[in-house]
Structure formats: C-alpha cells, structure tokens
Amino acid sequence: MKRHLTIVIKLGTSSIVSEDTHEPLVSIIGTIVETVVALRRDGHRVIICSSGAIGMALHLTGEPRRPKHLPDVQALASIGQVSLMNMWTQQFAYFNMLVSQVLLTRHDIADRNQYLNAQNTFASLMSRGAIPVVNENDTISVQEIKFGDNDTLSAITAGMVQADYLFLMTDVDCLYDKNPRKHSDAIAIEVVEDISDLDVDVSSAGSSLGTGGMGTKLTAARLATAAGVTTVITRSSKPGNIASIVRYAESQKAAAKSLESSLELPAQSTPGIATPDSSQAPDSANSTTTDIEIPPLHTRFLPDPHPIRDRYFWLLHGLAPHGTLFIDRGAYTALTNGAGLLPVGVVDVDGSFGQQECVRLSILPTRESPLSEAEEAGRALVNYSAIEIKRIKGLSSRKIAEVIGYADSEYVALRENIAFFKREGSRPGTPSGEREKDVTPKRYSLGRLSNYVAG
C-alpha cells in the first residue's frame, strides 16, 4: 500500500527572488506550486518553509540592497511578508488549495506548552488540507531568539511534525567534496549515512539576500536526520525534481526491504560504498532495483535508525542553552543508565542561568582534566541556578540544604529533563567476539546513484 508522507520543502530567498532585480522568479514559483499540488493529490502532506520577505520588500520599496541595521531589516520583513503570503495564496488559489501562515521565533517553542501547541496546530492545518507556509518572524526577532537561518528553522519544523522528508533547495545540484565553482574536478556526494564522516568544502556563502550557505544546510541535515527525517539537498531551479527524488527514495526503501526479507542481502565490495551483487541477490530483487527510475542529481542524508523525537528533540533543539555544566565520566555513565544528575557528578559551571533554564552538558575525561578537553554531549533543564550549582558541585545531595538554605530536589537535573545527541545504549550491541571484526566505515556514495540501494 502506498505510504502517505509528510514532506517539508525549504526555499531560500534566492530560490524565489532574483538577486539582481529583486523580482519574484515567477516560473520557478509556478513549478514549485505545481509540484506541491501534485504531491498533495498523491495524498502527501506538504509544508513550505519560505524565506523571501526581505527580498520582496526590496522590490516594493526600490531599495538596492539588504540593509545592515536591525530596525531597517525588521521593517522590510514586515512589508515583504504580506507580499510573500499574497503570492503563495494567489498561486495555490488557482488549484483551490488553502494556504496558512506560520511565523515562529525560537522563543515561541522554548516553552514546552507552546511547542506542543505549534505541533498540534501543524497537525490540524494539514488534516484540513491546508499548506502551511513557515517563516521566521523577523519583524520581532532579536539575536537571542532567532533561529539564525531558515535551514535550521526548516529542520526544527521537520522534527516537530515528524516529517518523512526535508528538502533543502539550493543553487547547486547536490553536495560536492569540493566547491564546484572553484574546482572542475569536484565529485558529487549523493548518499550520506553519517554526516560526521564527511570531509567536504562548505565555503560557499549564502546569497546577498539570504543568510544561509552550504554549512548551514549540513547543520540542518544533521539536526533533521537525528530526528529520523530523510534530508535532501537539490537544485532549487528545478523543483519538479522533488517528486522524482521521493519516488526514487521510496523505491529504494522498498527494494532494500525486499532484499532483507529474502535474507540474501548483497555484499559490499568496496568499504564505505554499498553496491548490489547480482550473483547473490534473487532475480526478483534485482528486477526491482534495476527497474527503479534514475533520479535527478541530489544528496540524500539517511535518517538515524534510532531517532530523537518529542520531548528529547525539544530539549536538544527547541531551547537555547544559557550556560554549561561540566560533568565527570561517572555521572555520564549514570545518566545513560537512567539516573538523574547529582551534584557530586558536576565538576564545574560556566555561564549565568536560573532555575529551569537550558544548559549544555559537557563530559570531562577525568575530574582533573582541563575544561578545554570536555566534549559537549547534550542538554539539560536544571533545578538550580548557576550560582547555586557552583556552591554544591562535587557535594553529596544531603548537603544541598545546608549549603544553599533549601533543597527542592536531590538532583541538579532530573533524567526526564536531560537529552543526549547520541542515543547511548539504544542500538543493538555486537557480541564481544565479533566486535573487533566490524571495521566497516559509515557509507557514503560518490558519483551517480544507479548502483546504490539503501534505506
């Protein structure tokens, strides 16, 4: 049975507004709308994360370039957002489709109840067949509550709605190992299992109208894949490619499941690159993979098989940290086994924060290690302020009231208020006798996708 998917499409300013004239790119916008309509008619739910308000305003006001002063930028955002939404509303009206506006700042989702309200609103909008158009609320945003760029906003939106796909539309076909504008021998990277294994040049900056570049897209891909969202980078001037890529990726998943069910998965002939072996796969599985339509060039980041969702996703990505707790290895081990964070496990504190504010958790190799050797591992909502934790760090919980005059909790942070970027212990363990043999690196695929099968 055909799956009904949730797809988030992120469009930067340069995708829909000319950098030179600031006029809307009507032909591309029309193709985007037709693509979304086709996806909706196939039963999929679609969210558009659209920049472009300031670009639209520059066209309306006749100003030559994006201003530098915050009040001027916010004024243009206010002017342009109206035109941006009018454009989307008019375009979708030709197909009798509803459009809604969702403006967010990080402050809006920092409160857990507001985050859940936003999540429920998205669900209600999509159940009505509406197409939410999301943008950062630049008119009221200040640096402390900004997402920073719409790549990050789109990834957080995709995680919030537990999307199946996030498309990051850009001005190149895919991710390359080197900047293709500077190096003619740049190689396309088309399938990535683990972003941390990538060694690529992300020096390309965003457009003169926008704030993002390839670096922000990799950050967004890391965030979205951790939430279980397949993330795709592809060319914005060819939005019709989205449907082809979705069909291809879904066919790949079906082919992989077919091979798994046959218990005759093909061997990997080259470490790090998965290629099917026709001599080992059954004929029916081979016909499934060879009949798959070859998609347009793109980079596909595979989702984490053990995604971080719901409250833990909110803790990691919905909140801005106000400081750092440095903890010892023993405390980290206890946390991964389900315990809360006790004062005795805290080595040092950095920053200024109050009760129930978010902080980074960084692990020290030993209690004597310099803070520069700490590795950031997650986030926590703390029960005590920075000043109070500095006074009780390293002590037994029995001494909390004696030192600071009260003890609301024996824990610096409850386990339910702690989330880690890596899900320790969540993946099946390898028997000890086999562990040393498993040295296959994470997969990525260079070049065309024609011989690659992956979920």
Q: Over the stretch 251-293, which tens digit does the pLDDT of each residue have?
A: 888 887 777 776 555 544 433 334 334 333 444 434 444 455 6
Model confidence, pTM: 0.80
Lowest mean pLDDT among 183-187, 214-218, 444-448: 444-448
> Which pLDDT band holds residue 341 (cuts at 50, 70, 90)?
very high
Output the six-digit token pair for 228.
């279980």
Residue 229, φ and ψ in degrees, nearest 5: -105, 120
Burial class (CB in 10 A: 0-12, 13-18, 19+), 47: buried
Q: From residue 232, how far is each of 90, 154, 205, 413, 437 by CA, in Å? A: 28, 12, 19, 36, 32
For residue 315, what is the DSSP state?
A: I
The mean pLDDT of 23-49, rounded to a whole number, is 94
Residue 289, φ and ψ in degrees, nearest 5: -75, -35
Helix then strand count (H, E) for the chain reads 15, 15
| Per-residue confidence (pLDDT) for residue 284, from 0 to 100 | 40
Coil, helix or strand for 178?
coil
d(CA 12, CA 15): 5
Q: Which residues contact 51 (CB under 8 A, 6 or more apart)?
A: 11, 12, 13, 15, 16, 135, 150, 210
d(CA 195, CA 211): 22
Residue 231, φ and ψ in degrees, nearest 5: -115, 135
- From the list 306, 286, 271, the residue with the least C-alpha distance to 444 is 271
pLDDT tens-digit readout, 362-393 = 999 999 999 999 999 999 999 999 999 999 99
Largest CA distance in the chain: 74
Which segment, 233-237, 342-346, 432-436, is predicted with the most confidence on average? 342-346
Lowest mean pLDDT among 28-42, 88-102, 166-180, 282-296: 282-296
- From the list 224, 240, 399, the residue with the least C-alpha distance to 300 is 224
d(CA 60, CA 368): 60
pLDDT tens-digit readout, 131-151 = 999 998 888 766 544 566 789
Residue with tokens 């029995």: 398
- From the list 49, 328, 28, the residue with the least C-alpha distance to 165 is 49
| Per-residue confidence (pLDDT) for residue 453, from 0 to 100 | 36
Coil, helix or strand for 148?
coil
Instruction: Please check the confidence at residue 339 and state whether its pLDDT lies above 90.
Output: yes
Query: Any alpha helices (H) in 62-202, and if so which ranges?
Result: 70-93, 106-110, 112-127, 150-160
d(CA 8, CA 49): 7
For residue 239, what is the DSSP state?
A: T
d(CA 437, CA 434): 5
Query: Is residue 179 within 8 Å of 200, Cβ to Cβ?
Result: no
| Per-residue confidence (pLDDT) for residue 291, from 0 to 100 | 57
The mean pLDDT of 330-335, rounded to a whole number, is 95
For residue 139, what is the DSSP state?
A: T
| Per-residue confidence (pLDDT) for residue 202, from 0 to 100 | 64
The mean pLDDT of 211-227, rounded to a whole number, is 84
| Per-residue confidence (pLDDT) for residue 142, from 0 to 100 | 62
d(CA 165, CA 243): 11
d(CA 169, CA 247): 17
Query: Is residue 207 within 8 Å of 19, Cβ to Cβ?
Result: yes
Report the percent of the chain where pLDDT is more than 70.
80
Compute the mean pLDDT over every residue in the chain, rounded to the nearest whole number: 83
Instruction: Please check the confidence at residue 154 and state whether its pLDDT lies above 60.
Output: yes
pLDDT tens-digit readout, 389-413 = 999 999 999 999 999 999 999 999 9
3 vs 132: which has the higher pLDDT: 132
d(CA 235, CA 173): 5
> Which pLDDT band holds residue 94 (cuts at 50, 70, 90)?
very high
Residue with tokens 């300031």: 54
Q: From residue 208, how far is each of 23, 63, 68, 357 by CA, in Å? A: 14, 14, 12, 36
Q: How far is CA 381 from the centre of its chain?
A: 22
Residue with tokens 């980074």: 360
Instruction: Please check the confidence at residue 130 and state whether its pLDDT lies above 90.
Output: yes
Query: Is residue 387 within 8 Å of 334, Cβ to Cβ?
Result: no
The mean pLDDT of 39-52, rounded to a whole number, is 95
20 vs 203: which has the higher pLDDT: 20
| β-pair type (375-381, 131-136) | unpaired
Query: Is residue 65 within 8 Å of 208, Cβ to Cβ?
Result: yes
